[in-house]
Amino acid sequence: MLGLLLLVLTTTMYPAWALDGAGIGNTIAAAIKDVILQIFEILKPIVNVLGIGMILVGLLLGLGLRQELLGFRLAIGGALALLTVHVIVPMLLQYI
């Protein structure tokens, strides 16, 4: 009973503060942005290795084993993966 009385007295002594919605929204947005950036930082080296490997295997197939169609398609895919990771995704991440 005494605890309830103290609670009522302390809440009536201070003015009620309205919740600042912008502060909460900014905090949540910053947390989501950090999560997206960390996921990208984890995946970037993996995609780099896969892209370089695709280019090397594609050139090996295309030039060395005379499988031009398969090899050059694989090399172009690796180059597009590296282009995406180093140019397109950082450009898109500027907007978050």
For 58, the token pair is 């594609």
pLDDT in tens, the chain (96 residues): 666 655 665 665 555 555 566 688 889 989 999 999 999 999 999 999 999 999 999 999 999 888 889 999 999 999 999 999 999 999 998 988
Residue spans of the domains in the chain: they are 2-93
Query: Which is nearest to 72 in space by CA: 48, 84, 52, 55?
Result: 55
The pLDDT value recorded for residue 11 is: 61
